[in-house]
Each structure stands twice: as structure tokens, then as C-alpha cells.
Structure 1
Amino acid sequence: MVSDPKHIIAQRLAKVYQNACMAELEALKPGNVHIFADGHGMVVEQFITSAEVSANVIANPSFSLGQRIYESVAATHQAVGCNTNLGIILLCAPLIQAALHSQAEPFEAALTDVLAHTTIEDAQWAFDAIQLANPGGLGQSAQHDIHESAQCTLLEAMQAAALRDHIALQYANQFYPILHEGLPHYQQALVRWDRPAWATTAVYLYWLAHHTDSHVARKYGLEVADQLQKEAREHYLAFLNQENPKLYLPTLRAFDRDLKNQGINPGTSADLTVATLFLHHSLVVA
């Protein structure tokens, strides 16, 4: 019996997703949990488990976009009981949706189509997922508040939040920053050093240096987020100047300890990093 091609692609995408989550953990990312150091009351094993259980559902070919988001968050919450991957799921779900439906058109066109046809039901699924994950610093919103019933499509909700949330901005801009900033930076670093972990650290530092981390801004305010961005820019430039990035890792470890001692967790930059890695590999699969 011949297997359904869409199910075969879904299985491959699930594996790519899980591998992207694991690859992000294997790189030194100052302020976040990784194999070099736990932090913020969480341990790396929780993220490994989260990657595994969410991979089991996030590429289900029968799910709508909203259901894909909710079921992945619910599986994670049941397994680890805390928010380890909400941003990752919000970013990767539409990429997976597009990859599953991009056989007849280019990937970017498929992604634009997925985003353009989100529904109010998708928004409600996503609102429920965000409430379940309960990310740090989440407050009330004057427009499209997630604590109320959805009255707009998921894309409209993301467009309304785009100025204050960099994950929402990806939806609003058809993932242009990831496709045309993060992806080429990762690929260039990979070609230069031929070390995925170093390339991952490079793209993480790129996000941290070039875009205000909205998780930090939401929890601690723009002044703290801007100072973090300034420090990250210095480390990003220094890291790129290394012929052997391994020599700069002790400096990044010190930066990592300093951020964790302050309780600063640049979670959005880590989420964007996973989505970048996923996109790099998923374009080959799809």
C-alpha cells in the first residue's frame, strides 16, 4: 500500500521541527536555557520533552492552523506544566501549514496564502493556547484581548499586536524578517564555519542585536530591552569577527550568567532562532 504523500511530508516536517528545537538547545544563547546552563527556574530536559511532545502533533496534516497551535501548546503543557515553547509554536505552525500545502506553488506564496486565509476560529484556538501557556508579562489589551472571545481573524489579531510583539510582526509581514534576515545570516555563518551550533549562536545574536526582544520589553520595559540590544550588538560583532568562535564562548558564558542573574530571558530571540533553523531545513523537505 502506498502511503499518503502528505502524511510522509508531515512526518518529515515533524522531525525537522524537533531537530530545530534540539539544535537551538545545543547552541550557547546568552540569557536562555541551553545545554551549557539551565536558567529561570527551568532545565534543558523540559525543553527536550517539549520538543518531542509538540512534534508529535504540530505537523498533523488534518489540523487547521489554529488547532495546530492549540494542540501543540496543550501537549507541551500536559508534559512539562510550564511555557517552554509558545513562541516557537506560534512561529512554526504557519510555516508547517504552508509547507504541507506548497506542492503546487512556491513556499512564500503558500505561506502568504495560509496567512491571508486565517479565520476567527483560528484566532480563538490561538487565544486559548496563549491563555493556557500563560507567558510572562502577559497583560490586558485594548484591542483583540486574548481573554475575550475572538472577534477577528488570527492574522488581524497579529496585525494589531505587531508593533509590540515581534512574533506577531512575522505574521503581519508574511515572515519577511525570518525569510530575508534570519535565514541568510544563518546560512552565511554555516558556510563560513561549517558548525551548526556556531551558526545558531550567530543568528540568535543577530536577532538579539537587531530587534528589540519583545518578551524582555513586555516583562521589564523598553529601557531594559534597549540596553540588552545594545550589549548584544557588541557581542554579535565580536562573535562575527572570530575565525574560531570557540575562543569567544567564555565571554558569552559570562554574558549568559549576567543576564540570568538579572532574571532577563530573551525568549523572543530564541523563538525566532528556532523558526529560522526550521525554515532552513523545511524548505528542503517541502
Structure 2
Amino acid sequence: MMAAPGHDRAGAASAAFLWACTLDVAVAKPGNVSLCAPGHGMTARLFLDSAAAAAPPLTDTMLAVGARIERAVSATQAVARCNTNLGILLLCAPIAAAMEGTPPRDAEALRQRLETVLAGLTVADAQAAYRAIAQANPAGLGAAPEQDVAAPPTVDLRAAMRLAAMRDSVARQYANGYADLFALGLTVLRRHLASHGPWPARLQRAVAAVYLAFLARFPDSHIARKHGLAAARNVSYKARLLHRRLEAGQVIPREELARWDRLLKTDGLNPGTTADLTVASAMIAGCLDPALCALSAASPALATSAVGL
């Protein structure tokens, strides 16, 4: 029996989400947890288990965006007992909702659908998302002058995110229609995937390039909340130097990245928001080109498949 169109698109969104989350830990990104480098009291297995648990509610076509976020966070907490993916879920739930119906013909069509999803968010979506945030209890959240997550929101989810857009890169995507993900994340990923060389090395380099591109351009929100904007800017400066070398075609030795990774983790600096943006960019790419997701089974080998980028 042929599956209903809604189910087909939910399956495509789920596959893209799981592929992106697998890449998140398969590619060693300085400061983040990966298969070859645990850190911050977490392992790659926690992230993989979290993604598997979160995928069904995140892509449930019967749920509104806020409910998807809340149920996905609850599913994550049940298996991980810590916050492994709140930012990822906040970013990916609208993408999954935008994938419903016929496949988008191109990136602009998907972006227009996302804009429709974001414009249709409600106060109920905000209330569910706030409950999810409280449940995940992200470190360094602090207090906000308006629509603080400690109290039920009185505006829709996009309006609430707009209030936080100046201080949080995830919230900024809700405000600007995911402009950073399409203009920077997807563009950088596709450019490196189209380069020459063995496919696993290209994929590894592409994900790392997206991560460094975001980190170079935007001081990481998670670091800024926990350690201050100056610390976040210092990390961005280092990322900018590496990204320039990568874009110039230079090989960055794996040990050089490993040293920076160790330094970041020793100082408790985790560019977690940058990783969230990278995952969401990869999910968009996987939604637009489902053939990419066939690589998910081989992706874990990427963490040890090359000596550098």
C-alpha cells in the first residue's frame, strides 16, 4: 500500500534530521562532543540516542510546532537526562513542519514554506516551547526583560523569539526566516560538497567548514551566556583564522584542531549554538536532496577517516 503524502514527507524530514544529527558527532568540531572526543560531561552516544528519541515527535505531522518541540525535549530527557539538543529541536521543528506536502522544488521554495510556518506560530506554540525550555534547563539562560521563560508567554512564538534575537542565534533564525542558514550554512555546505576528492573527506570538510563559518561570523550564544561576550568573541577570532585557511584550500592538520578542542573543553567553552546552526543547515540540505541521507550509515567513520581537513 502506498503511504500517504504527509507520511512520505515526515519520513524525508526524519531521515534528514537523523542524518544531520549523525554528522554532528561524526565530524570532530572543536569544542563540541564527537565520536572521537567526548567533553562537557557528555558522550556522542547521548547525542545519537537523543536524536533517535526526538525524531518521531519532531516530525509528527499531527502536532503543531510548539508541541513537537515540547514532546521531542521530553523524549530526549527520558534517554539522556540532560540537555543535548534543545537548540537543535527549536531550529528543526519548523523545518520539519515546512516539509509537509509535496517536496519543495528548491531552497527558495523551502524557505518560503518556512516563512509561512513561522508566520503561523501561535501563543500556544510559545507556551509549549517555553515548557520545553524549562524542562531542558539550558545552562546560563539568565533572565529576560520581556517574555522571560520563567513565566508563561503572552505572545506568539515568533514574537517571543524576536525579543531574544539580538542575544541568541537560534532566536534570530525565527526572526529573520532562517536567513543565516540558507545564505551561509547551506551555501557553504553545498560548495564544499561539490569540491573534488573522496566523498567522506568532502562531507567531513563541508560540515567543518559550515561550523567554522558560523563560529567565525557570530560569537556563540551559548558561550556568551555562560562566559560573557568577550570570551565568545575570542573563540570567534580563532575560528575566523581557521576558516580563512580552509576557504583558501589549505589542509588543517587534525592534531591542530584536536589541540584547540582540548583547550576549549578544559576552559568549559562549548560552541553549542554554533553546532545547532550547523545541524539545522545539514537538515535543510538533506531535505532538499534526500540522496545525501543515504550516507548516514557511513557517517560515523568520518571522525577518524582523515588526518586533517
User: TM-score, normalization: structure 1?
Assistant: 0.95
User: Residue type matched to 2:218 in 1?
Assistant: H
Alpha-carbon distance change, 134 to 211 in structure 1, aligned in 2, over 3 angstroms: same
How many Å separate the matches in 2 of 1:165 and 1:101? 31
1:213 aligns with 2:220: yes
Mapping of 1:110-129 within 5 angstroms?
Answer: 110-129=113-132
Mapping of 1:11-160 within 5 angstroms?
Answer: 11-101=11-101, 106-160=109-163
Report runs of 4+ in structure 1 exceeding 3 Å deviation: 101-105
RMSD: 1.6
Alpha-carbon distance change, 102 to 177 in structure 1, aligned in 2, over 3 angstroms: farther
CA contact (8 A) 1:91 1:275 kept: yes
Secondary structure at 2:74 match in 1: helix
Mapping of 1:121-200 within 5 angstroms?
Answer: 121-193=124-196, 194=199, 195-200=202-207
How many Å separate the matches in 2 of 1:229 and 1:55? 31
User: Residue type matched to 2:152 in 1?
Assistant: S
CA contact (8 A) 1:102 1:110 kept: no
User: TM-score, normalization: structure 2?
Assistant: 0.88
Q: Number of paired residues? A: 284
How many Å separate the matches in 2 of 1:27 and 1:108? 26
How many Å separate the matches in 2 of 1:240 and 1:4? 43
- How much identity, in percent, do the aligned residues show? 38
Task: Give 1:181 deviation, angstroms.
Answer: 1.1
CA contact (8 A) 2:5 2:101 kept: no
CA contact (8 A) 1:53 1:75 kept: yes
CA contact (8 A) 1:242 1:248 kept: no
Query: Which position in structure 1 is the counterpart of 2:253?
Result: 248
CA contact (8 A) 1:101 1:110 kept: no
How many Å separate the matches in 2 of 1:214 and 1:101? 34
Alpha-carbon distance change, 85 to 160 in structure 1, aligned in 2, over 3 angstroms: same
1:274 to 264, 279, 286: 279
Query: Which position in structure 2 is the counterpart of 1:231?
Result: 238
CA contact (8 A) 1:144 1:151 kept: yes
Query: Which position in structure 1 is the counterpart of 2:5?
Result: 5
Mapping of 1:252-267 within 5 angstroms?
Answer: 252-267=257-272
Structure 1, gaps ≥5 residues long: none
Secondary structure at 1:100 match in 2: coil
CA contact (8 A) 1:190 1:199 kept: yes
CA contact (8 A) 1:216 1:265 kept: yes
CA deviation vs aligned residue, 1:114-158 (integer Å, no higher than 9, x gap):
111100000000000000001110111110111101100000000
CA contact (8 A) 2:189 2:206 kept: yes
User: Residue type matched to 2:39 in 1?
Assistant: G
User: Residue type matched to 2:240 in 1?
Assistant: R
Alpha-carbon distance change, 147 to 34 in structure 1, aligned in 2, over 3 angstroms: same
User: Residue type matched to 2:2 in 1?
Assistant: V
CA contact (8 A) 1:99 1:283 kept: no
Task: Give 1:102 deviation, angstroms.
Answer: 5.9
